[in-house]
Copies of this chain bind each other. A is one copy, B any other.
Amino acid sequence: MFKPLDPLLHSELRLAVVSLLISSDSADCPYIKEQTGATAGNLSVQIDKLSAAGYIEVEKTFKGKKPCTLCRITPLGLKAFEEYVEALRSYLNVT
């Protein structure tokens, strides 16, 4: 009846991050922060979790002299997102 919802994606901020990365291919923290309205600390934690799960890839670079954390979605992350959306349907297709 109701499919289980991946707890890693069933989180407002993490879902927003993944959603953003799917349409942006790659994004740095300040951009994600701006688009989601998240605080830096919260964002850092959630990026860690997504990264630990292999849903996103994190590359530490520099933009000029400043540190810059680049994130991009992985195939695993994309698959998880698609499955999450599919699972959600079982809750929403109430018609």
Show the binding face of A for B, using Cβ within 8 Å: 1-2, 4-5, 10, 12, 15-16, 19, 22-23, 35-37, 81, 85, 88, 91-92, 94-95
Stoichiometry, copies per complex: 2
Chain B contacts for A92, CB-based, 8 A: 19, 85, 88
**Dominant secondary structure at the A interface:** helix
B1/A35 in contact, CB under 8 A: yes
Besides A19-B92, A81-B94, 9 other CB < 8 A contacts?
A: A2-B16, A2-B35, A10-B12, A16-B91, A19-B91, A19-B94, A23-B95, A85-B92, A88-B88
Q: Which partner residue on chain B sits nearest A95 by CB separation?
A: B23
State the CA gap A22–B95 with chains docked (Å): 9
